[in-house]
Copies of this chain bind each other. A is one copy, B any other.
Amino acid sequence: MSQSIPVNQMSSISKSSCQRCSLSNLCLPLALDSTDMNRLDEVVNRDRIFNRGEQVFTQSTPFRSCYAVKSGAIKTSVITESGDEQITGFFMPGELVGLDSMSDEIHASTAKALERTSVCEIPVEQLENLANTLPGLQHHMFHLMSQEIRNSHQLSVLLSKNTAEERIAALLLSLSSRFQRRKLSPTHFNLPMARNDIANFLGLAVETVSRVFTRFQNQGLIRAKGRDIELVDLEALQTMALGNAQP
C-alpha cells in the first residue's frame, strides 16, 4: 500500500541525460558545466530498476560501480562476522550509494532497495578516469566522500550519546530536511523504511521505536499511521534532537 505513492515520480524521464535530470543539483553533476556533463552522461548506466527488497550490490562481491538514487530509497548495511546486520545509511533520490567501497576491490556493504527504486549506475573505473580529467568532478567526489564520513560520525554521536527519543527525533528531522531538499513536504511524508530498519539503524529494539512513536504521538509532536508520518511540532522535535543541552 505504501508503495504506490512515492515511487517513480520522475520515472517519465526515460532516455534522459544528467542535464535534464531533476536531481542534477543534488547528484554528481553539481560541479560540472554542460560540456563536462555530457562526458559524465556517456559513462552513466541509466534506468536500472530494483524492486523492493532486491539487492543493488552485495557485501564482499566485486566492486565496479556506485549508484545514484533517482527515485525510491535504498538502505546500506554491513554484516558483522558474528552474523548480525547493522544498517549504515538510508539513501534518498539525489544521493550517491557505495562510496564506502571506492577504489576497493570488493563491496564493504550491501545495498538493498526499500521500495521500487531506480538508479543510475556509475562505473567507478570510468568515474575515476573522468575525475582525473575534470578537477571539478574530483573535488566533488572528495566532497561527497568527506560528507559521508561526517554523516557516519554523526551516527556514532547519536549512538553513543543520545537517548532513544533523541535518536528518533534526529532521524525524523534528517528525513524531513532531505524531503525538503527535493521540494517535497518536510512535514508530511512516507517513511521508506520499516520500524525494524529504523531500530537497527539507531541501535534500538523495534519495541522501543514503536513506543517512542506512540509517545511522540501522544505528546502531539507527530502524527503517525504506519509509514505515513506528519511532523506536527518541528520546534519541539528539534530541541529534542539536540538532546541533553545544559544551559
Q: Which residues of A are in contact with B by a Cβ distance under 8 Å?
A: 78, 80-84, 86, 88, 99-104, 108-109, 128-129, 131-132, 135, 138-143, 145-146, 148-150, 152-157, 159-161, 202-203, 242-246
Most buried by B among A139, A149, A242: A149
- Contact in complex: A82, B145 (CB < 8 Å): no
- Contact in complex: B80, A243 (CB < 8 Å): yes
- Contact in complex: B145, A138 (CB < 8 Å): no
Residues of B contacting A245 in the complex (Cβ-Cβ under 8 angstroms): 81-83
- Contact in complex: A153, B152 (CB < 8 Å): yes
Q: Which of B78, B132, B149, B155 contacts A99 (CB 8 A)?
A: B149
- Contact in complex: A142, B139 (CB < 8 Å): no
Number of copies: 2
Residues of B contacting A146 in the complex (Cβ-Cβ under 8 angstroms): 99-104, 108, 145
For the complex, what is the distance from the CA of A150 to the CA of B161, rounded to whole Å? Answer: 21
For the complex, what is the distance from the CA of A149 to the CA of B146, rounded to whole Å? Answer: 8
- Contact in complex: B108, A150 (CB < 8 Å): yes
For the complex, what is the distance from the CA of A146 to the CA of B127, rounded to whole Å? Answer: 15
Residues of B contacting A128 in the complex (Cβ-Cβ under 8 angstroms): 135, 138-139, 142
The 8 closest A-B pairs by CB, nearest first: A160-B203, A152-B152, A103-B142, A159-B159, A102-B146, A100-B149, A145-B145, A82-B245
